[in-house]
Structure 1
């Protein structure tokens, strides 16, 4: 090669290198700007969720699906959309209902007027969006009902011409009883029921916009449909204000993930309605000190070691209804032993089958699955209760207006049994599917009629769909992931003898029975079907959920490859379609490494400063722990978006670490049961062990990466893996994470120099029954051992307490009582009160400034 050619090549290489350098510098600048503005963008976009598709449901064979999505990254008003494939396999998205347009049509305000009971439901569900936040579908999916600004709206989905789908307002004469809560369309699409809190109202939906269902012609515009008021089931006139009808009680919504208070029969001819008397529960007063002119709000709260609400179920046969006004207590009551089993955790009603309900005892270590006898069987004598009929014998002999229940299955397992959403359930052929804690295999498994249909090692987290062919569930073999898995129903399960409802017997396979009741104990083992099989429908190293039909599916998934959510609609062998995502780009890739710490191989996420950070070349940095650490919630997951907060903190000059300890779930029952009666001892010990193992873990990470550079692509060129400054370790968290943070500086001040504790449950006697008693039992001495109040005198480190005055879950009393004890002990601390804020910090200004105030506090504390 000539000298001239050599010079040309060298010049070209230099130019390419210079361009790469410029590109890298530009990308670093863009990334640093995104990180710097993260607090305000996070607040404005509701944690980058606005505009992303969510809440999908497949329709029919899966050709269609409906879902929710707002128009942009800062639009809080979610709209109703359809995703569908045409005959040529082309994918389409069609707007079915836009809340902005609908509210303008009826001349409403720009801001929704949300009833207090609906606000409470959204708080229980941690719903922070507005607009159409939920919907109800008919069985064929062609009718969709939802509530917006206190009004019921109905969408008729035209599956032949989706663009012609019609959404209209539902009204009645006289006006509909209000407030309108949880509107639920009947499976056949002809009726709609909703709760007002004091009654359940049933409407008949006519198909004409000008003619009501019973022939009364009215003038109406094309956007309004009149409905006939069929019936209203309300409590007796002398019922106390503490009685509510058709709504889930506080403990169900907050702790059981049950938000329903009434259930349609599959044939649309009847309903089961919940009646809740909250009068046994203590009255708590939620006040706003910033507005002394406003009266405190009274609420019933099931405080630990005190009485629960009394929950009853009533049956309404619409074919027997001959009056528009019905007294609920005069209808047939579904009875079980409510003294022994005071929690009604779930109700499932499958086509062709009787409804089944799941009840728990107070300690939650005994669970019964009850079949409701709607075939005409009435209550029997009290002696039948001992034989497994489940009849309520708390009062006088059962009357003729009561409906008995039969125990299909009873489980006695472990210190407690976690509820698995989606089960128990019967298939259409009558196979009972449930989850079972297999202590021998250290696995929560699926079983059907007494036969395991999921293998050991697959922890069942939630059941999405049950059929005679398969059970589709969210499950994992690695606690950091959640996969969607199809577990086939083995042939021997499908061919088991049907249950004889007259004898109340249940077919079984390798499981003991007593008087027709399947009974499981820890010492017994159940056979795993030899021909059972499963198919993983998502990435195992991700966090996924799905809605499935016979030939289609909508898969929602997050992974470590992207900070955006992926929502994909598949149908037959058509090209899969990813639903449009209008959410904001995060703008940076968290420099996060997933590792295991210490002897217990604690799952941990370590986030280091980004390449453009001024701390990128630091040889040593303070450590900031950001755990939750409490029961059945994990912070270390295969979801890159989960570490956005951690990256912002890392770029403020910290090695940021999240650690999932014992009890956080998905590692088997033995792992979780370790926290029984020992919140403080066990969960704090895990965080301390993680801190002590951090140095060796970083050394190993450095060695694995072949030097001192980070392995993340965007950070590989400029990030040094620093040494942890073990003399400057801080911890911060919210809710249980707040408890753990305060606990750390009270009981382990030799390790932790500072803590920011948000909404901490400092005294577990002030928290609710169903959650707290599951783990701490009924002995007051155990609550004293796990309380922070008596530890106030031990404070040696810096502590900031943060709490919202409007929090009705972990009330501000927790923080105020700890602060009072600290003051009495002469201990300096900081309290940051949040006016008008609930357990969710969903005010944009508060959310933004809260990060900055905590950062400045930690800077001062660790200086």
Structure 2
């Protein structure tokens, strides 16, 4: 479920780049704080965070580019000053068109003289999309469509800038930019049968990528995935449009069912020869990562067994297809997949992360896989490698060393020494975008209740170069509203487990009163980023403001981080292995019991809500701990893990054939007869991720148990349940449900 905390991520993303103009704070407003409204949070741009759109580092590290008013503008890193317009909006008007392109994105070729512009992008699933691409030549100012054969996917310049590879209709193509001649690398792609150059649904969702082709460093070869999904069962997701519903059938491997058989091939540009890499005789396995090493003609392939407890790094000769295993990483539970494999210049060493000492740390290996040394160590974990400086030998990474609630940038050298924090000393979350030469980084920093500040900083020291966006106007707006304080705390369970938590109190909190509590839960496993955590020292976006609105109306809002979530090492996260839902539900119940002991909490009025895995958790809480919770809301929940996909579900539960009890003993469907409190079940009928089938099964069980419930379904909405006024409508229904029942 690399949907993991998709709901929250979507809520944060929904508050994109502009602010309401002309908002000032008067003396009267300073005395009279404003109430938050759903319209302000979900319909108007009142609280939208400002950002730096279209930011891209340029090759020499001294400049960056950004989209401004439809034009592409170059800025100097050290001052942030706009130096020149690289491409004017007027130059992006195709022949015969009435207006310039509405640009979605752009990439430069190696000498930055040609640019690929993206427009008319159509999302497919979470990461996949197809677009119209145009090639712009800066010297001639000529704008040329990349292809006339229909929309393309993932168009990418070759490293030498002479070609562009892309996908269309499950095949891979290459266009020679000198002649604009298009060559088909593959021709056998067929929808719902065989895919070349793109990921299938489950790889895209759970392994986190959609583009499935990769240029060699010398531009002479192209490596690409092939997914034979002919044996994968289809899911039929009806679209409720027109006189008759439309069928949307796509391949979706549910737990225990057949996956795609995946292969990797290389295509030689000069000869047109295709060579298949030897990934072993076992078809029932995963190939979650493919990348080129820095050694000539050497391809790196990661191979993962179906149970995902054994990861192997293979080195493949791109000319012959022969492979050898150079490194094996195993775990009693599972091995997580990330993007932390980095091959160093010279083709003699690579850096990789592993949890083999209980926490995700950096290790240096030679090209035969032999460990040279462990570079980092401690009771904290690395969440991302951000950059590597070959001149100084420093690896830059983001970690939880300061706190599981925080993320900050550090660096360490290849000898395992010189480790230092680069981020400014203080709390919060740093999201880092480092320049290729590591001289500078773009830092997006926020903390609890404080909107993000985007700044340019020196890579070696973290010294501020320029603040690009401080969200001062948003802070000014927020200051006009009656916001409560967010307090972090630790709850110790009866088993002696410390659980991180936060509480939002009303601004006019009175300890002599008794308050109802709404708990917010996600609770699912996910490694690396902070995406599975709800208790974080960051701004929080839309959900944070909605929770503040509830606090204004007299509720305490609390979130408790149960076992199984990220940020605290392998043992804490993997405690739930093979038995999802059991310990998580115990911990949420312990949180509710603790809250019931507080003198200012009305223990008869504790509710819980969650989205995605959090919807699963709130469904379990309302059934397995029915006496603790008066009210619950489950949005887009899994209710039976047999309905969810192979990669995510089997990683944490094994297959249903091997571990049937792990699937059934904590399915909300099995406990429908226990429901006592008021319960609202929400789902989008167009959810390609957590299928509407989950809610149908739970509703059926509730009917059989003669239990009262309320449902709210959103036609054709996906897992994020958004679009138009959908979010406003959803949160109005949830607000009303909370106020009526808690």
TM-score by length of 1: 0.73
CA distance in 2, matches of 1:670, 1:814: 30
1:422 matched to 2:340? The reply is yes
Deviations 1:141-174, CA, capped at 9 Å, x for gaps: 55442321132134567xxxxxxx98763326xx
Deviations 1:590-632, CA, capped at 9 Å, x for gaps: 5211111124221111111235xxx778712100011111112
Indicate the structure (1 or 2) with the bigger Cα radius of gyration: 1
| Matching residue within 439, 443, 463 for 2:359 | 443
**Pair 1:675–1:145, CA change in 2 (3 A):** same
Partner secondary structure for residue 416 of structure 1: coil
**Pair 1:168–1:793, CA change in 2 (3 A):** farther
Partner secondary structure for residue 619 of structure 2: helix
| Matching residue within 170, 173, 176 for 2:144 | 170
1:559-598 correspondence to structure 2 within 5 Å: 559-560=446-447, 563-570=450-457, 576-580=465-469, 585=474, 587-588=477-478, 591-598=485-492
Cα deviation, residue 584, structure 1: 7.3
Report the equivalent of 1:386: none
Cα deviation, residue 562, structure 1: 6.1
Cα deviation, residue 373, structure 1: 0.9
Report the equivalent of 1:191: 163
CA distance in 1, matches of 2:317, 2:440: 35
1:232 matched to 2:112? The reply is no
**Pair 1:364–1:99, CA change in 2 (3 A):** farther
CA distance in 2, matches of 1:462, 1:551: 15
| Matching residue within 519, 537, 560 for 1:638 | 537
**Pair 1:138–1:540, CA change in 2 (3 A):** farther
Cα deviation, residue 341, structure 1: 6.4
**Pair 1:180–1:459, CA change in 2 (3 A):** same
CA distance in 2, matches of 1:634, 1:108: 47
CA distance in 2, matches of 1:590, 1:756: 23
Deviations 1:170-197, CA, capped at 9 Å, x for gaps: 326xx52222111111112221111003
1:83 matched to 2:75? The reply is yes
Report the equivalent of 2:412: 487
1:627 matched to 2:521? The reply is yes
CA contact (8 A) 1:144 1:155 kept: yes
| Matching residue within 605, 627, 631 for 1:750 | 627
CA distance in 2, matches of 1:242, 1:428: 40
| Alignment RMSD (CA, Å) | 3.1
CA distance in 2, matches of 1:191, 1:52: 32
CA contact (8 A) 2:91 2:141 kept: no
Cα deviation, residue 770, structure 1: 0.7
| Matching residue within 386, 392, 411 for 1:464 | 386
| Matching residue within 268, 285, 298 for 1:342 | 285
Q: Any stretches of 5+ residues in structure 2 without a counterpart?
A: 1-24, 121-130, 366-370, 527-531
Cα deviation, residue 575, structure 1: 6.4
Deviations 1:335-358, CA, capped at 9 Å, x for gaps: 212626621111222444422121
Cα deviation, residue 61, structure 1: 3.6
CA distance in 2, matches of 1:850, 1:575: 41
Partner secondary structure for residue 619 of structure 1: coil
Partner secondary structure for residue 218 of structure 2: coil
Report the equivalent of 2:331: 413
CA distance in 1, matches of 2:468, 2:559: 32
Cα deviation, residue 535, structure 1: 3.8
CA distance in 2, matches of 1:654, 1:154: 55
**Bigger mean CA deviation after superposition, 567-576 or 773-782:** 567-576
| Matching residue within 207, 213, 217 for 1:266 | 217
1:763 matched to 2:640? The reply is yes
| Matching residue within 132, 140, 147 for 1:151 | 132
Report the equivalent of 1:557: 444
CA distance in 1, matches of 2:344, 2:54: 24
**Pair 1:183–1:283, CA change in 2 (3 A):** same
**Pair 1:197–1:540, CA change in 2 (3 A):** farther
Partner secondary structure for residue 809 of structure 1: coil
1:691 matched to 2:592? The reply is yes
**Pair 1:822–1:486, CA change in 2 (3 A):** same
Q: Write 1 or 2 for the structure with the bigger share of strand.
A: 2
CA distance in 1, matches of 2:300, 2:472: 40
CA distance in 1, matches of 2:611, 2:264: 36
Partner secondary structure for residue 650 of structure 1: helix
| Matching residue within 660, 671, 684 for 2:561 | 660
**Bigger mean CA deviation after superposition, 762-771 or 557-566:** 557-566
Report the equivalent of 2:200: 249
Report the equivalent of 2:3: none
Partner secondary structure for residue 363 of structure 1: coil
Cα deviation, residue 68, structure 1: 5.9
Report the equivalent of 2:82: 92
TM-score by length of 2: 0.84
Partner secondary structure for residue 665 of structure 2: helix
Partner secondary structure for residue 725 of structure 1: strand
1:829 matched to 2:709? The reply is yes
Report the equivalent of 2:34: 32
| Matching residue within 174, 182, 187 for 1:202 | 174
Report the equivalent of 1:225: none
Deviations 1:56-83, CA, capped at 9 Å, x for gaps: 44223421123567x6xxxxxx986543
Partner secondary structure for residue 296 of structure 1: strand
**Pair 1:765–1:563, CA change in 2 (3 A):** same
CA contact (8 A) 1:368 1:408 kept: yes
CA contact (8 A) 1:193 1:203 kept: yes
CA contact (8 A) 1:314 1:333 kept: yes
Cα deviation, residue 645, structure 1: 2.9
**Bigger mean CA deviation after superposition, 848-857 or 460-469:** 460-469
Partner secondary structure for residue 595 of structure 1: strand
CA distance in 2, matches of 1:90, 1:734: 40
Q: Write 1 or 2 for the structure with the bigger share of helix.
A: 1
Partner secondary structure for residue 239 of structure 2: coil
Partner secondary structure for residue 236 of structure 1: coil
| Paired positions, count | 677
1:364-403 correspondence to structure 2 within 5 Å: 364-374=308-318, 376=319, 378=320, 403=321
**Pair 1:594–1:561, CA change in 2 (3 A):** closer
CA distance in 1, matches of 2:472, 2:187: 45
Report the equivalent of 1:739: 616
1:675-690 correspondence to structure 2 within 5 Å: 675-690=576-591
Partner secondary structure for residue 663 of structure 1: coil
**Pair 1:132–1:683, CA change in 2 (3 A):** farther
Deviations 1:380-425, CA, capped at 9 Å, x for gaps: xxxxxxxxxxxxxxxxxxxxxxx11111101112300112223254
CA distance in 2, matches of 1:426, 1:659: 41
CA distance in 2, matches of 1:583, 1:179: 40
Deviations 1:419-454, CA, capped at 9 Å, x for gaps: 222325454442121111133xx3110101111111
CA distance in 2, matches of 1:99, 1:41: 32
